[in-house]
């Protein structure tokens, strides 16, 4: 089987060469083995958290196809990536399009952001039969990227509720949040939903009625609920804080590190720890405690400590 690489030379497919999974667990290069130890520690942390919280994490034993719609499959390199919104997922989807595009794309950054989110551009695990799903879960290298949960939450809020162009979010969620959380809301606010305050957003998230009504939107859903790390054994857990190193390590394992690098660009608008601290200034300690409970498994599982700015009860 021939596959075109981005430079136009024909390179033979991975068949016969080592898979990313083999390279991860039995590295041939010393540089890869040091990083492998770090990822072993991260894997152990997830396993320990799942065990310690087995009551809450084992409620749903059997995953449904709907649970697998965030798992993007790369057949050529035998990899599965679970995407988490607000954790570099646009760039990772672009990279996956380069990897699975059979030479159609060579530079991830040439792919427009909205193209990366067109579902038909990538194949997800829920599109396979049960035996095919099980085969891939067993034999492909599975990875995801995580971020400090409250920083990710503030990033989602800023992106979805403070940008004027996100009218679909304002209509779908903003109007609901205003109606439920704001006393004496104006008719305009109820109609547009485009001025949701962070405090109102938090109140909406911790309201038991919200969770009963429908699952969280993927932009603020927990990583635990999007990627099911207690049911699916992830081989690699990348972190937003070490995005470049972790991403390029994965590309190295896939055997494409020589010609494909993870796109880096400093976004001046990026949500930082300082910014997150500011957003939480006006949240009552009671609400902070309740919000932490919602995201607690993500904090524990991915080894994020309780933020120092929280004034929890």
Max mean pLDDT among 21-25, 54-58, 239-243 falls in 239-243
71 burial type by CB count under 10 A (0-12 exposed, 13-18 middle, 19+ buried): buried
pLDDT tens digits, one per residue of 150-178: 999 999 999 999 999 899 999 999 999 99
Domain positions in the chain are 32-146+222-254, 150-206+272-302
Percent of the chain past pLDDT 70, that is, above it, reads 92
pLDDT of residue 7: 36
Q: Scanning the structure block, which residue is given the tokens 């109606």?
A: 179
Question: In the predicted model, is pLDDT for residue 191 greater than 50?
Answer: yes
Question: Is 9 strand, coil or helix?
Answer: coil
Alpha-carbon span 36 to 41, nearest angstrom: 9
User: For residue 238, is pLDDT > 50?
Assistant: yes
Question: Nearest to residue 245, comparing CAs of 24, 44, 32?
Answer: 32
Residue whose entry in the numeric block shows the structure tokens 């492909």 = 140
Range 37-64 average pLDDT:
83
The pLDDT value recorded for residue 179 is: 96
Chain centroid, CA 147 distance in Å: 8
Q: Rounded mean pLDDT of 101-118?
A: 93
- Please give the average per-residue pLDDT across 240-252, as a whole number: 95
Confidence of residue 59 (pLDDT cuts 50, 70, 90): low
Express as a percent the part of the chain with pLDDT over 90: 78
How far is the C-alpha of 285 from the C-alpha of 29, rounded, in Å?
Answer: 49
pLDDT of residue 28: 80
Higher pLDDT, 302 or 34: 302
Residue 42 has pLDDT above 90, yes or no: yes
If you average pLDDT over every residue of the chain, what do you get? 90
Residue 11's pLDDT band, with cuts at 50, 70 and 90, is very low
């Amino acid at each position: 089987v021939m596959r075109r690489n981005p430079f136009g030379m024909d390179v033979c497919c991975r068949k016969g060469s080592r898979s990313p999974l083999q390279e991860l667990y039995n590295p041939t290069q010393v540089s890869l083995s040091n990083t492998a130890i770090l990822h072993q520690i991260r894997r152990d942390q997830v396993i320990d958290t799942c065990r310690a919280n087995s009551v809450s994490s084992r409620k749903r034993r059997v995953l449904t196809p709907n649970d697998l719609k965030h798992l993007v499959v790369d057949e050529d390199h035998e990899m599965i990536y679970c995407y988490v919104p607000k954790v570099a997922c646009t760039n990772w989807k672009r990279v996956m399009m380069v990897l699975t595009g059979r030479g159609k794309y060579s530079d991830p950054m040439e792919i427009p952001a909205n193209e990366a989110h067109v579902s038909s551009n990538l194949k997800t695990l829920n599109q396979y039969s049960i035996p095919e799903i099980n085969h891939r879960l067993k034999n492909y290298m599975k990875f995801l990227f995580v971020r400090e949960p409250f920083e990710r939450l503030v990033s989602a809020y800023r992106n979805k509720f403070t940008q004027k162009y996100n009218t679909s979010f304002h209509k779908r969620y903003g109007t609901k949040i205003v109606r439920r959380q704001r006393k004496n809301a104006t008719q305009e606010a109820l109609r547009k939903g485009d001025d949701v305050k962070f405090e109102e957003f938090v109140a909406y998230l911790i309201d038991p009625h919200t969770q009963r009504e429908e699952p969280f939107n993927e932009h603020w859903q927990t990583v635990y609920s999007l990627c099911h790390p207690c049911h699916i054994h992830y081989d690699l857990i990348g972190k937003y804080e070490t995005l470049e190193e972790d991403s390029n390590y994965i590309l190295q394992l896939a055997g494409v590190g020589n010609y494909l690098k993870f796109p880096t660009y400093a976004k001046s608008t990026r949500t930082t720890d300082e910014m997150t601290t500011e957003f939480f200034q006006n949240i009552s300690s009671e609400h902070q405690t309740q919000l932490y409970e919602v995201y607690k498994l993500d904090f524990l599982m991915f080894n994020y400590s309780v933020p120092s700015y929280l004034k929890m009860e």
